[in-house]
Structure 1
Amino acid sequence: MIGEGGPRNAYLTERPMADLSRRSLLLTATALAGLAVLPVLARSSDLTVKTPSGRAVSVSVWKAVGKEAGHILFSHGAASAPWKYQPLVDAWTKAGYSVYAPLHVDSTDHPDRANFQGMASWPARIEDVRALADHLGGPYIAAGHSYGALVALCLGGSAIAVPPEVKTPLRDPRALVSLAFSPPGAGMGFIKAGDYAPLAVPALIQTGDKDVPPGPGGDWKSHLLPYDEAAPGGSRYALVLDGVDHYFGGGICRPELPGPVQAEQLAIAAELSVLFMRAHAGGDKTALVTLNGRLSDKGPARLTVK
């Protein structure tokens, strides 16, 4: 799944839809479940960047709370918008990260959406993030959900097919790590087996056991293809959350869903994403020890590394 109302093919069109002990889970839930009900932090500013073709790209900006630890370039899911990910944005800004998120042309909130039907949104997304990365000018964390997770993984080295007019490779050496929530798998669109294998940076790939793609034979495990194809030894993590669907019950991407929001699981995902960024983008050894201490092959949060 990449998000409701995206490019019209079997994948891009979406229909609505150490071991954690019980004590440690309760502690995590108590400390973090409030993320989903925190008051929305005001967006500090917006900016506009221009692509080489002259197209204006609107970017939502949330500044870090306190000392800045780094920049996150975030790409939203198809048909969604940056402000529909507020629980993640709030967690990241409170952890010291500034978030920069372009409004892509496939968003239902984009005024020019009608001019970018079907697969035309794919090269436009690449243009968006390249223009924003050039504006940032330095190292950043590539993050995204669904269609946006595909973007984040490409910035980290994965090689998904693009039209011939799009300059390759898609890899941006300024992208320190890739943070991918529910990326697409092969057989559900234009992703082919082997496309994710060139991933060149540490990555955290998340899915849930209710995150089933639309269509016959859909399997939530397909979202782990980037993890499965990545070469071992590069600090690639897979996070599988029990009871989690593509939208955390409406917690991200589609807040209009009836829910209930999977708030505890979303809080765990946010916490682990911060530990991952601190460890692998920030060189924080304490965060690395803590993150690796959460490795587990059992629920509710199955975290593995290769």
Structure 2
Amino acid sequence: MRLSRRAAMAFGAAGVAWMGAPAMAQAMPAPSRFDLTGPGGRRITVTQWNPVGTPVGTVLFSHGAASAPHYYDLILGPVVAAGWRVLAPLHVDSREHPDTAHYPGLASWKARLEDFAALTDHIGHVPYVAMGHSYGGLTALVLGGAQSVPPPGWTGPQCDGKARAVIAFSPPPAIPVLITKEGYGKLAVPAIIQTGTIDVMPGADPKEPEPWKAHLDAYEAAAPGGHRYGLVLEGVSHYFGGLICDFSQKGPPAVQGIKDANRIAGLFLAAYGRGDHRARVRLDAAVSPNLPVRLMMK
């Protein structure tokens, strides 16, 4: 089944044309790459960034549709600098994947689940934080217990229960063929879900006063009392003005938005990835209904 253009754009699949790195650079250590074997012998290439010294933990990252891991230095750099090892598969929906033409529409969703089944098996009994952007934000939420509509040919659980927490940048709203609000409500771990006030899906109802709120479906559906946070950044688009995922997107670059996103996500990562009580106190103290950085908690 092919997704409609509107649904595909909800997680960043359309209009991607790589135009080179943004001017705002983030120092990153040189990554390494290795291959895993998926169902049917499919090759899954994983990019790995290791921090200086002993890692404090593991982050599994999922890129947006049509993108690739190396377009996310501005949000992954601070994670690696904080001591985390980051592992990120190249999904079949990436325009850089050699076999992308063989995985139209929802075929890519099954492959994404397979990518992380292979990767979590590879790391063994190691807890991790799941992190992702757009389509990858949905992927991360499913690793944290949210339940998608099972793709054709998929049986059994969609996650392994090893995720400690989830960081989801602009995940898609509920899309009936992919995930429902009830499915998002199955989220089982602490999570932070981010969007921006100009993060609007193509085709959104022009009469809707705040159409960007659709990206908070996962936050709204999650049960209260489970350390769930919703983050809204003023003037931030789906791509932070072309700073992540797709460098060709319309600016201006949301430089302050990236800084605010990294600051809040960093506190969350320390609080729920490492169990840092002081970071959790600081995170909860940042809860505010006011823009430019609106942080909600339930």
**Do both proteins adopt the same fold according to a TM-score greater than 0.5, normalized to the shorter chain?**
yes
- Aligned residue runs from structure 1 range 23-172, under 5 A: 37-137=24-124, 138-172=126-160
Alpha-carbon displacement from aligned partner over 1:167-225 (angstroms, at most 9, x marks no partner)? 33213211111110001112576332311011000000000010001114171101111
Residue pair 1:72, 1:97 contacting (<8 A) in 2 also: yes
SS at structure 1 position matched to 2:6:
coil
Which of 270, 274, 281 is equivalent to 2:262? 270
How many equivalent residue pairs? 284
- Which deviates more from structure 2 when the two are superposed, residues 279-288 or residues 48-57? 48-57
Which residue of structure 1 aligns with residue 193 of structure 2? Answer: 205
Inter-CA distance 148–81: structure 2 relative to 1 (3 Å threshold) = same
Paired amino acid for 1:255: F
Paired amino acid for 1:83: H
Which residue of structure 2 aligns with residue 180 of structure 1? Answer: 168
Paired amino acid for 1:66: G
Inter-CA distance 65–293: structure 2 relative to 1 (3 Å threshold) = farther
**1:254 is aligned to 2:241:** no
% same residue: 45
| CA-atom RMSD in angstroms | 2.0
Paired amino acid for 1:46: R
**1:291 is aligned to 2:287:** no
- Structure 2 unaligned blocks of 5 or more: 17-21
- Which deviates more from structure 2 when the two are superposed, residues 79-88 or residues 163-172? 163-172
Residue pair 2:117, 2:159 contacting (<8 A) in 1 also: no
Normalised to the residue count of structure 2, the TM-score between the two structures is 0.90
Which of 283, 289, 305 is equivalent to 2:297? 305
Paired amino acid for 2:225: G
Residue pair 1:205, 1:238 contacting (<8 A) in 2 also: yes
- Structure 1 unaligned blocks of 5 or more: 1-5, 18-34
